[in-house]
Amino acid sequence: MHRFRSKAFAPYALLTPGTAWLVLFFLVPMVYLGKMSLETGLFPLFSFDWAWSNFSDAISAYSTQFVRSLEYAAFATAIALLISYPLAYWIAFRGGRWKNLFLLLVIAPFFVTYLIRTLAWQTILSDGGVVVTILKDVHILGADGRLLATSAAVVAGITYNFLPFMVLPLYVSLEQVDHRLIEAAGDLYANRVVSFLRVTLPLSLPGVFAGVLLTFIPAMGDFINAQLLGTPRQYMIGNVIQSQFLSLRNYPTAAALSFMLMGAILVLVLIFARALGTDRLTAGAAR
Amino acid sequence: MIARIRRHALDVYALLALGYLFLPIAIVIAFSFNNPLGRFNYTWAGFTLKNWAHPLAYPGLGSAIWVSLEIAFLSALVATVLGTLIALALVRYRFRGSGTTNLLIFVPMTTPEIVLGASLLTLFLNWKIPQGFGTILIAHIMFNISYVVVTVRARLVGFDRHLEEAAMDLGANELVTFVRVTLPLIAPGILAAGLLAFALSVDDFVITYFNAGTVTTFPLFVWGAARVAVPPQINVVGTAIFLVAVGGMFANVIWQNRRAKRLAAA
**Test mutation, A28, A43, A85, A123, chain B, max B CBs within 10 A:** A123
A26: left (phi over 0), alpha (psi -120 to 50) or beta: alpha
Residues of chain A neighbouring B233 (CB-CB closer than 8 A): none
Tens-digit pLDDT profile for residues A208-267: 998 999 899 999 999 999 999 999 999 999 999 999 999 999 999 999 999 999 999 888
- pLDDT at A6 (0 to 100): 56
Cβ–Cβ below 8 Å for A89 and B10: yes
Give the start-to-end residue ranges of the domains of chain B: 59-230
Percent of chain B at pLDDT > 90 equals 45
- Residues of chain A contacting B182 with CB distance shorter than 8 Å: none
Write out pLDDT tens, residues B199-232. Answer: 899 999 999 999 999 999 999 999 998 888 788 8
Distance (Å, rounded) from C-alpha B9 to C-alpha B6? 5
Question: What does the alpha-carbon distance between residue B16 and residue B10 come to, in Å, rounded to a whole number?
Answer: 10
Question: What residues are paired with A41 via a beta bridge?
Answer: A46
Q: What angle do CA B7, A109, A114 make, to 5 degrees?
A: 135
**pLDDT, tens only, A176-212:** 888 888 888 888 888 888 888 888 888 898 899 989 9
Query: What is the CA B94 to chain-centroid distance, rounded?
Result: 30
Q: Do A19 and B101 touch (CB under 8 A)?
A: yes
Would the CB atoms of B112 and A217 count as touching at under 8 Å? yes
ipTM: 0.88
CATH of B59-230, one of 1.10.3720.10, 3.65.10.10, 3.40.50.800, 3.30.365.10: 1.10.3720.10
Residue B251 has pLDDT above 60, yes or no: yes
Mean pLDDT of chain B: 88
Chain B residues in contact with A25 by the CB 8 A cut-off are 120, 123, 138-139, 141-142
Which residue in chain B is spatially nearest to A28 when comparing CA positions?
Answer: B123
Assigned architecture for domain A62-286 = Orthogonal Bundle (1.10)
Please check whether residue B150 touches A, CB under 8 A. no
Is the model's pLDDT at A282 over the cut of 70?
no
Mean pLDDT calculated for residue range A159-169: 93
Lowest mean pLDDT among B10-19, B44-53, B115-124, B202-211: B44-53
Adjacent-strand bridge partners of A47? A40
Q: What average pLDDT does range B146-165 have in this prediction?
A: 87
Which residues on chain A are in Cβ contact (under 8 Å) with B101? 15, 19
The answer, yes or no, to whether residue B234 has pLDDT greater than 60, is yes
Q: What is the residue-wise DSSP string for chain A? A: -HHHHHHHHHHHHHHHHHHHHHIIIIIHHHHHHHHHTTEEEETTEEEES--THHHHHHHHHHHHHHHHHHHHHHHHHHHHHHHHHHHHHHHHHH-GGGHHHHHHHHHGGGGS-HHHHHHHHHHHHSTTSHHHHHHHHTTSS-TT--STTSHHHHHHHHHHHTHHHHHHHHHHHHHTS-HHHHHHHHHTT--HHHHIIIIIHHHHHHHHHHHHHHHHHHHHH--HHHHHHS-GGG--HHHHHHHHHHTS--HHHHHHHHHHHHHHHHHHHHHHHHHH-HHHHHHHHH-
Maximum mean pLDDT: which of A247-251, B18-22, B83-87: B83-87
